[in-house]
C-alpha cells in the first residue's frame, strides 16, 4: 500500500481509539488486547502535535499581514532560518511540497527545463509531479542507491548536451537529506559538496529537499550551514520531527527568495496573519532540534529489537536517524499489510509500503517504554499467529 492511502486508513482506525499518542511509562507491557488501551503512532513524524510551549506562543503571537511582508513573527522565523543555513533570505510556506515545488519552479523559469533527481525521492514520487503539471518542467531520474545518493558519474551523464534541438535544457539538480524512502539515510557533506561542484561546473542550480535536514545535521554532527553550503536553495520542514503543526521555510539568495515570494502568491500560498503558525516554528527551532537525537536513539532500539524477531529483518547499521524500514520476510507468519493491521488492533500504528516493507518513524511523542511495547507487540502477534496456523494445520 502506498503511504498516502495507508495514512488515511490508519487515521480511520485511530479515530476509533484514543486521540493522544502515548508516552505512558508503565513497567508491565500488556500486549494481549483486541481493544487497544494505548496508541503508539509510528506512521510518520508528521503526526506530531504542537507542544504546550508552541500552543502558548501561537496564542500570544504578534501578527500582521504577511502578504504585505510585515508580519513580525513570520519575518523573525524567516530570518532565523536563513541565518541557520547561512543563506541571505527565507520564505515561510505552507508545506514541504510547496517549498520543493517553488525551489524547482524558480530555478527553472523557462518551460522545457529539466531537473535531475533521484528515482526514489519524495519530489518525484509523492508530489503529484507538480513540477510538470504546473511548471512545464521535465524530471530526469537517476537511480537512487540504497544510501540515498545517486552515482555522480550517472548524474553527470544525465546532464543534457547544449545546442541539441532534441533535448530539454538541464537547469537543476535536486537531492533529499535525510532520504525518506532510503530509510532516513543521511547524505554527507562530501557528497553534497560534490553535487554542488558538478552543478557549478555545468552552470546548473542545486536544490535540497531538506524536509528532515536537521535530523541529518544532528546525526552527522555537522552544522546545517556546512551541510548545505553547496546548495542554492533548501526547503526545510518544521512540521515533521520538529513538531510544528504547519509549515516549511525555503531559504536561498535574496534574488531567489524575491522570485519565490511572487510565485507563492500565484500558488495560493500567501497567508495573512501567518505569525500564528510561524510562532510554533520558532519554538521548533528553539526547543525541538536538540531533541532529535532522542528520536534517533529510539529508532536504533526499535531497529535492533525488530531485527531480533524471527520473520522481520532490519538493516540496523543503516538506521541513522528516525526512520526504520522493516522487511517482512517469507518466514513471517503474516505479510506486511496484515501485520500492520494486526498491530493496529494493539494500538501500534505503522505503514506498510512497497509490498514487503513496514515503515516506522520515531518522534518526540515516542518514549523508551513505547519502543518496548511495540517490540513486545510485534513478537507476540507473530508468535500467536504461528500458534493459530499450527492449530489449523496451515
Ligand atoms: N513525507 C511524508 C509523506 O508524504 C510520505 C512522510 O510521512 O514522510 N520531502 C520529504 C522528504 C518528505 O518526507 C515529505 C513528507 C515532504 C517533502 C512533503 O512535506 P509536506 O507533507 O509538508 O508537503
pLDDT for 386: 81
Out of 237, 243, 248, 322, mutate this one to test ligand 1's pocket (max ligand atoms within 8 Å of CB): namely 237
The number of the ligand 1 atom at minimal distance from the alpha carbon of 97 is: 23
Indicate whether residue 211 lines ligand 1 (CB < 6 A): yes
Task: Please report, rounded to a whole number, the percentage of residues in the chain having pLDDT higher than 70.
Answer: 91
The span from the CA of 216 to the CA of 166, in Å, is 39
pLDDT for 394: 76
Q: How far is the CA of 34 from the centre of ligand 1 (A)?
A: 31
Distances (CA, A) of 326 to 212, 232, 269, 376: 20, 34, 36, 15
pLDDT at 12 exceeding the cut of 90: no
Rounded to 5 degrees, φ, ψ at 232 are -85, -30
* Average confidence score pLDDT of the chain: 92
Backbone region of residue 44 per phi and psi (left: phi > 0; alpha: psi in -120 to 50; beta: other values): beta
The span from the CA of 255 to the CA of 257, in Å, is 6
pLDDT for 17: 39
Q: What is the pLDDT of residues 273-311, one digit of tens each?
A: 999 999 999 999 999 999 999 999 999 999 999 999 999
pLDDT for 35: 60
pLDDT at 15 exceeding the cut of 50: no
SS (H, E, C) 69-113: CCCHHHHHHHHHHHHHCCCCEEEEECCHHHHHHHHHHHHCCCCCE
Indicate whether residue 46 lines ligand 1 (CB < 6 A): yes
pLDDT for 30: 54
pLDDT for 7: 53
Domains of the chain in sequence order:
2-48+291-392 (3.90.1150.10), 61-273 (3.40.640.10)
Q: What is the pLDDT of residues 31-51, one digit of tens each?
A: 555 567 899 999 999 999 999
Q: How confident is the model at residue 26 (pLDDT cuts 50, 70, 90)?
A: very low
The span from the CA of 375 to the CA of 310, in Å, is 12
The span from the CA of 5 to the CA of 11, in Å, is 10
**Closest to 328 measured CA to CA, from 307, 347, 299:** 307
Strand partners, 139: 115
Q: How far is the CA of 385 from the centre of ligand 1 (A)?
A: 34
Mean of the pLDDT values across residues 228-257?
98
Indicate whether residue 73 lines ligand 1 (CB < 6 A): no
Rounded to 5 degrees, φ, ψ at 177 are -145, 120
In three-state secondary structure terms, 220 is helix
pLDDT for 29: 54
pLDDT for 131: 97
Q: What is the pLDDT of residues 160-194, one digit of tens each?
A: 998 899 999 999 999 999 999 999 999 999 999 99
Amino acid at each position: 500500500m502506498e503511504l498516502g492511502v495507508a495514512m488515511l486508513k490508519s487515521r480511520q482506525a485511530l479515530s476509533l481509539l484514543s486521540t493522544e499518542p502515548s508516552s505512558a511509562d508503565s513497567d508491565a507491557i500488556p500486549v494481549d488486547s483486541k481493544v487497544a488501551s494505548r496508541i503508539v503512532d509510528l506512521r510518520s513524524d508528521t503526526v506530531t502535535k504542537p507542544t504546550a510551549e508552541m500552543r502558548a506562543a501561537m496564542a500570544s503571537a504578534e501578527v500582521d499581514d504577511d502578504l504585505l511582508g510585515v508580519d513580525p513573527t513570520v519575518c523573525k522565523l524567516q530570518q532565523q532560518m536563513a541565518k541557520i543555513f547561512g543563506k541571505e533570505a527565507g520564505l515561510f510556506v505552507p508545506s514541504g511540497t510547496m517549498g520543493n515545488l517553488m525551489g524547482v519552479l524558480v530555478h527553472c523559469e523557462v518551460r522545457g527545463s529539466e531537473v535531475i533527481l533521484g528515482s526514489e525521492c519524495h519530489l518525484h514520487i509523492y508530489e503529484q509531479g507538480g513540477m510538470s503539471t504546473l511548471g512545464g518542467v521535465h524530471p530526469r531520474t537517476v537511480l537512487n542507491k540504497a544510501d540515498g545518493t545517486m552515482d555522480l558519474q550517472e548524474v553527470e551523464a544525465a546532464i543534457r548536451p547544449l545546442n541539441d534541438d532534441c533535448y530539454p535544457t538541464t537547469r537543476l539538480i535536486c537531492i533529499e537529506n535525510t532520504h525518506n524512502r532510503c530509510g532516513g539515510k543521511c547524505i554527507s557533506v562530501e557528497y553534497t559538496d560534490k553535487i554542488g561542484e558538478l552543478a557549478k561546473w555545468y552552470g546548473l542550480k542545486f536544490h535540497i529537499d531538506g524536509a528532515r535536514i536537521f535530523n541529518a545535521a544532528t546525526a552527522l554532527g555537522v552544522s546545517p550551514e556546512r551541510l548545505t553550503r553547496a546548495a542554492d536553495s533548501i526547503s526545510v520542514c518544521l512540521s515533521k520531527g520538529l513538531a510544528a503543526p504547519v509549515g516549511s521555510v525555503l531559504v536561498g539568495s535574496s534574488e531567489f527568495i524575491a522570485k519565490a515570494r511572487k510565485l507563492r502568491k500565484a500558488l495560493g500560498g500567501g497567508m495573512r496573519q501567518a505569525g500564528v503558525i510561524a510562532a510554533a516554528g520558532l519554538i521548533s527551532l528553539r526547543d525541538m532540534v536538540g531533541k532529535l537525537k532522542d528520536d534517533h536513539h529510539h529508532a536504533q532500539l526499535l531497529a535492533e529489537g525488530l531485527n531480533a524477531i524471527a520473520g522481520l529483518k532490519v538493516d540496523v547499521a543503516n538506521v541513522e536517524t528516525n526512520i526504520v524500514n522493516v522487511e517482512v520476510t517469507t518466514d513471517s507468519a503474516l505479510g506486511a499489510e496484515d501485520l500492520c493491521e494486526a498491530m493496529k488492533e494493539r494500538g501500534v500504528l505503522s505503514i506498510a509500503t512497497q509490498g514487503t516493507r513496514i515503515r516506522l518513524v520515531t518522534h518526540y511523542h515516542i518514549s523508551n517504554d513505547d519502543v518496548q511495547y511495540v517490540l513486545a507487540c510485534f513478537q507476540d502477534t507473530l508468535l500467536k499467529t504461528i500458534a493459530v496456523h499450527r492449530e489449523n494445520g496451515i
